[in-house]
Structure 1
Amino acid sequence: MTSAAPSASESAERESLPGAAENTGAAPGAKPYATYLLGLADDAMVYAQRLGEWMTNAPQIEEDMALGNIALDLLGQARGLYPYIGSIDGTGRGEDDYAMLRDERRWHNVHLVEQERGDFADEMARLLWFSAYQVELHTALTASADDVVAGVAGKALKEVRYHLDHASLWVVRLGDGTEESHRRMQAALEHVLPHLAELFDHDEASVLAADLEVGVLPSTLHDAVVARVARVVEQATLTLPDGSRWRSRGGRAGIHSRPMGSLLAEMQHIARSHPGATW
């Protein structure tokens, strides 16, 4: 016997990717912090795509491989969360659904990870900040009340510590190198500055996850992350920028910057051109 086609209301519910407040009681086994986890998975997925763009574009072949491996680590973090999110958010979606079949406004990543690839110094500044943030984030999440979240965080923590070491070595090498490399590394720290505050913004999903002892309030990570970055910047004979005339916001709510559309168009092209294909 074939099952009946889903009703219009069922289809709308599946498409809506319900948020934290909407998820409560949505389905048997549904958990109200799915949107919080989706933001973390989306951060990793989008930055993996950006770092993959360095293949054949890094200053040396070893760096092609290093950044490619970091991208694969981040992809693995996203893959560790997407299927679980689908099992607790009431949609039943799999990792390909989340990565390849969502439009821009359905993504919950911060703006920092979606910005276009700049020069190598820009990337090392971005990787320094993001990996310092992820070290503190996953350290906290290893104590999550959700065993799956704690397990993913424990594995990710080993990886992001390496990511931070890698970025730190390059920031010091460039900052304490030639006059030109010093100037460009300092400019890179200025360039990423407007996108940093968003990492530590609270939203409804993060507050709920923290209240349930599953997640962590982003603002509680701020001081430790800044301290990690400041130590590297000082060693690199650089100056940590203070304050920006503007700042990004809204990524967790699905409001993104111009580069996000082109990133998704490239990342999702094959999957959307051949729906249902497997390989």
Structure 2
Amino acid sequence: MKNNLYKYILGIADNSLILGQRMGELCGHGPSLETDIACTNLSLDLFGQVRSYYQYAAKIAGDDRTEDDIAMLRKERDYLNVLLVEQPNRDFAYVIGRQFLFDVYHHLFLMELQKSKDLTLAAIANKSIKEVSYHLRFSTDWVKRLGDGTEESHTRMQEAIDQLWTYTDELFHQTEADKEMVSEGIGVDVTKLKEEYYNKVAEVLAEATLQVPDLKYFQKGGKQGIHTEHLGYLLAELQYMQRAYPNMEW
């Protein structure tokens, strides 16, 4: 159980770490100063949540690893994030689409994680959900603004949703660690979130005058450590300082 709890925590935390890194890449590149700052704040929120998860993971591991070691010194195949969050920042509509599709899931997930029998995970969820509620409002508002805006913004937002949709189903796949944690009353049964997730997403897309993609094939693999080519480049930047200057501390 100890090993699966460790993997379960990584499965949660890696999503926020990788998405936080993606949003941090936008610092100084937002379409306006206010939006630029908002995207950077989303990144900081996610990194703050990640610290709590990795500190707990280090405690569970019971070896000499620190939160920094777990975050920065694993190889690509050791990261368990879903493919959705590692997708690159193609344009602002793509950034918003990725954020929105994850935020809807993240909010539903944390609502349930608050009920965990693991008091540490429940406490992290209780603290994080306030931030994620803001993330969801931010991305939802932008989906509506872009979708129901100009002809170009509508087209770009629809293209982003169409391209990102293939990664959404993986959010509801269960690993062996997930299944054990659910059986122990610690984890969230994500399969039960799927219907509500797609209903909420469809409702927002309708308000934004966007179409729900008609897709039969979904990509997966991130939860098993099988990633797209984008993650390697992201990790090269994320891990550079730790690997160039081992054991560095502020």
TM-score, structure 1 normalization:
0.87
Decide whether aligned partners of structure 1 residues 161 and 152 sit closer, same or farther in structure 2, where only a CA change above 3 A counts.
same
Decide whether aligned partners of structure 1 residues 137 and 92 sit closer, same or farther in structure 2, where only a CA change above 3 A counts.
farther
Larger relative helix fraction: 2
Determine if contact 1:83/1:93 at 8 Å carries over to the other structure.
Answer: no
C-alpha deviation, 1:94, in angstroms: 1.5
1:257 to 219, 228, 233: 228
1:54 to 26, 50, 61: 26
Partner of 1:82: 54
The 1-side partners of 2:74 and 2:34 are apart by 34
Partner of 2:137: 165
Determine if contact 1:50/1:116 at 8 Å carries over to the other structure.
Answer: yes
Pairwise CA RMSD = 1.2
SS of alignment partner, residue 222 of structure 1: helix
Identity of counterpart residues, as a percentage?
42
Gaps of 5+ in 2: none
SS of alignment partner, residue 153 of structure 1: helix
Moved over 4 A (4+): none
Partner of 2:214: 242
Partner of 2:242: 271
Determine if contact 1:32/1:89 at 8 Å carries over to the other structure.
Answer: no
2:77 to 105, 108, 111: 105
- Counterpart amino acid of residue 177 in structure 2: A
Higher relative contact order (CA 8 A, sep 6+): 2
C-alpha deviation, 1:88, in angstroms: 1.3
The 1-side partners of 2:209 and 2:224 are apart by 37
SS of alignment partner, residue 226 of structure 2: coil
Counterpart check, 1:95 vs 2:67: yes
Summarize deviations over 1:113-146 as a string: whole Å, max 9, x none.
Answer: 1111111101111111100001000000000000
Decide whether aligned partners of structure 1 residues 160 and 107 sit closer, same or farther in structure 2, where only a CA change above 3 A counts.
same
- Counterpart amino acid of residue 34 in structure 2: E
Determine if contact 1:174/1:182 at 8 Å carries over to the other structure.
Answer: yes
Partner of 1:208: 180
Partner of 2:155: 183
> How many aligned positions are there?
250
The 1-side partners of 2:55 and 2:155 are apart by 44
Decide whether aligned partners of structure 1 residues 276 and 89 sit closer, same or farther in structure 2, where only a CA change above 3 A counts.
closer
The 2-side partners of 1:160 and 1:231 are apart by 19
1:40 to 5, 8, 12: 12
Counterpart check, 1:120 vs 2:82: no
Query: Which structure has the larger Rg?
Result: 1
The 1-side partners of 2:214 and 2:110 are apart by 26
- Counterpart amino acid of residue 253 in structure 1: Q
The 1-side partners of 2:67 and 2:219 are apart by 27
C-alpha deviation, 1:97, in angstroms: 0.5
SS of alignment partner, residue 33 of structure 1: helix
C-alpha deviation, 1:31, in angstroms: 6.2
C-alpha deviation, 1:90, in angstroms: 3.9
Determine if contact 1:108/1:252 at 8 Å carries over to the other structure.
Answer: yes
The 2-side partners of 1:42 and 1:166 are apart by 22
The 2-side partners of 1:224 and 1:135 are apart by 11
